[in-house]
Amino acid sequence: MSTVQTTLILLKPDAVQRGLMGRIIDRFESKGLQIVGAKLMQIPRSLAERHYEAHRSRPFYPGLVRFMTSSPVMALAVRGVNSVAICRRLMGATFGSNAEPGTIRGDFGVSNSFNLIHGSDSPEAAVRELELFFAPGEVVDWTRGADAWVYDLSSGTPE
């Protein structure tokens, strides 16, 4: 069954510094996903620590928090049918050196530590992460005319 989901995407400091924001956002929109929230922000240390708290005991945690607070990020709320899984496939393997060509990391990344982008790994994580990065009202529900051309709506619901 198809489910419309909203997921969090973070364009990390390396993507912002390299001027890749527009090209990466284009990948999601070209796929047919809808941007329903976006903001350029400097992540405070406390937010980075909360966001990555599951990795707190890992040796890379301090460096990850330092990296994510080193420069602005672009936070996106991306909506579509099964958007969590679709976004994960568009992103590619975690390490740029292992990512397939045609994916965001495969086309733009080679580093195993600077990996350009974060995407929620499950619908449950998306709910939690969106609440961390977007205040009420910052994720906008709007009707996109193109949805009739993105999804087969002949049955009344997206395919």
Active site residues: 118
| Cα–Cα distances in angstroms (integers) from residue 131 to residues 13, 51, 53, 137, 156, in the given order | 21, 10, 15, 11, 30
| Tokens encoding 158 | 């997206």
Output Rg (C-alpha) for the chain, integer angstroms. Answer: 16
CA distance 12 to 16: 6
